[in-house]
Each structure stands twice: as structure tokens, then as C-alpha cells.
Structure 1
Amino acid sequence: MWQPLRSLVGQISRSYGLKLSLVTLSWVPVVMTFNDDICYIARVDGSSMRPTLNPNENVSSTDWVLLWKFHSKKAQCLNRDDIVLFKSPLDPSRTYCKRIKAVQYDSVLTRHPYPREVVQIPRNHIWVEGDNVFHSVDSNNFGPISNGLVIGKAITVIWPPSRWGADLKLATGRYDILVAKSD
């Protein structure tokens, strides 16, 4: 008497498991495309963006940010005071997080160790600096960077919860570095 019922339950559970697996697998390309091209959660280590990111002196303090990647390499989408993650122009295996201080055609007052006092930012390039000026490897070390090296713009802090709503537009670091603005 119970055998037909067990057989029916077995068929239903196998059928449900197969459908669930197919639906789950069909979403894998969507999620991968979303992470590659639209949005991503990125870990930001180090003290170069302190106090905006990783404000605690604690070594284990790490902020996680929501990174907007869609059209983030286009010149018209990159603005002064945006925080961006980008591939190092000197070592592509390294990723840096810095604030955009100047965009294409701006002229910037540099600081040591940059070899010139003033530099004009070329087309499709940006000038980036860390908010913690004296603890930052940035454009003063390697010059303007190509927009093509930009991975994405930091939109908001998502971890730790105590940092939710942190104002990423609140720029610190060097002020008055622009000699001439492009707009």
C-alpha cells in the first residue's frame, strides 16, 4: 500500500530537485555578468584613504564598499572627489583605492616625488590621491592614470554596519591643487 505513495513522492522530489538545480544554474551567468559589468562588493585595505575609509587605527579595520562598475571608465562618468578602485599602472596585480582630484585637461600642482611642479592631465586620464596624503602611493608617484585602469567607483560603505551612510564625498587630503579646471 505504501509503495506507490513512496514512488510518487520520490518522483516529485527528484523532479523538484532537477527543476531547482536548472533554475539555479540558469542564474549563474546573470550573477557573473552583474559582478563583472555592473556592481561588485570590494574590500578596501590600508590607511591611504583614512579617515574616509578604514578610519580606525586598528590594523584589522577593513571597510567593504559597493563598487559601481557600469560605464565607470568613461571620462564623463568620472568626477572630481569620486573614490575609485583601479589597477596600478606600475603593477597590474595590485589594486588601489584613491580619490579623483583632477580630470582630463585640468592642471594640477604636484608634490614630491613627482618630477614636475605642475602637470596637465591628458585626455582620458585622471589624477588620484589618497585622503591620508603622507601615507599614500598615488599619482604623485606614478603620474596621471588612464581611465581604462579604473575598475569602478565606490558608492557606499556596506560593511561594517557602523559605517553605513558614511559620506564618501567628504573630501580630505590636499585642497587647492588645481591650477586650472577643464570646465
Structure 2
Amino acid sequence: MSIPSGIKTTLLTLTWFPVLYSFSSHVFSPYQISGFSMTPTFNPGTETTTKDIVLVRKYNLKKPESLKRGDVILFRSPSDPEKVLTKRVVGLQGDTVKPKHPPYPKDETRVPRNHLWVEGDNSFHSVDSNNFGSISQGLVVGKVVTVIWPLSRFGTDVSKGGRDARKGYGDIPVKSIGDI
């Protein structure tokens, strides 16, 4: 007795679901960016209601040397782990950072071991490390690789923006541990 080709095709297709699930859970996955905290890097302009969809790399992110200043990351909110936030890495472990605005209680702070200082590109609409302090690198969900939607912005370089855009790379108020 032979199996009909329709059932054979269905069974073969079903065997690929675990592979696709594992790939999107642990390797690369698309994410939709909503909100204005990363404008103009994501969701620029108000003339359209489309939200950017980005490709996120999910592997090899827990090591301290896996991320650098300027990377855009997705991470679980320290105050509400159900929320995933998108921000730019401004400070790495050992860096001394000058927070941008008054909610943070100190004029200068040192980023602890295995932590990151993150900020939104649009500081007026961003809840970030200036509000809740450094985040553990264990909260990182992924690193944004590129914009994949809308097609007019496909392949946009997301490494430019944040403090780098406002002041130029040499003027970032961050000191590396080697500079102290």
C-alpha cells in the first residue's frame, strides 16, 4: 500500500516546521519596530503609518565582546520583562557614561561588568538607561542587522544615529575603561 502524494507532501512540509521554528528562535528573526524612541533610525517621518520591520540576529550575544557602541539591540525591559525594547548601545562594561537628562540621579556613572548603557535615538520620546540605569547583557534578545520593510528602506544602515549623529564620533561623552 502506497501513501498518496498529497499526504506525503503534507508530512514532508510538516517536518520543516521545527527547523523553521528553531531558526527564528535562535538564529535570525524579523521584528516590527513600533514607537518613536528610535526615530529617525526607525519609523522616520509622520506621513506614513507603516512600521519598520527589521532582521534581528539572535546568536552569540551574551559575551561582553559581542556588542559594540552604536549597535542597535532588542532587549527585555528591566521593569516589565514582557516588553521588548529597541535601543542603541552607548556604553559597554567599564565605560563611564554621562547621562543625558535629569531622571538619572548621577552626573556620571560607570557601566558594571556584563552590563550595557542603552539610549533611544529620540531622547524626548525614549525610556532608556537614563531612566532605569545600565541593563544586564543577559536581557539582550537580539541585534538589529538591517531594515527589511518598507522596501524603500531595505538595507538601511542602522549603525548611524544616537549620540554619534548629534555630536560626531569623537565627541561622545563616554570614557573607555582604558582611558580612566
Q: Same fold (TM over 0.5)?
A: yes
1:49 counterpart (38, 54, 58): 38
* Separation in 1, partners of 2:50, 2:11: 40
Render the CA deviation track for 1:95-116: whole Å, top value 9, x for unaligned: 1100000111111001320011
Q: 1:121 to 1:65 in 2, by over 3 A?
A: same
Q: Residue in 2 aligned with 1:177? A: 173
Q: What is the RMSD of the two structures over their aligned residues, measured on CA atoms?
A: 1.6
State the AA in 2 paired with 1:76. Answer: E
Deviation at residue 59 of structure 1 after TM alignment: 6.5
Change beyond 3 A, Cα 1:90–1:34:
same
Aligned ranges 1:1-183 → 2 under 5 Å: 15-58=4-47, 60-110=49-99, 111-173=101-163, 175=167, 176-178=172-174, 180-182=175-177
* Identity percentage of aligned residues: 44
Q: 3-state SS of the aligned residue for 2:13? A: helix
Q: Contact conserved, 2:88 with 2:162, CA < 8 A, in 1? A: no
TM-score by length of 1: 0.88
Q: Identify unmatched segments of 5+ residues in structure 2.
A: none
2:77 maps to a residue whose letter is: S
Listed as ranges, the gaps of 5+ residues in structure 1 are 1-10
**Secondary structure of the residue that 2:89 maps to in structure 1?**
strand
3-state DSSP of counterpart to 2:4: helix
Deviates more, 1:120-129 or 1:162-171: 162-171
What count of residue pairs does the alignment treat as equivalent? 171
Supply the distance in 2 between the matched residues of 1:141 and 1:86 (Cα, whole angstroms).
15
Separation of aligned partners in 2, 1:51 and 1:148:
27
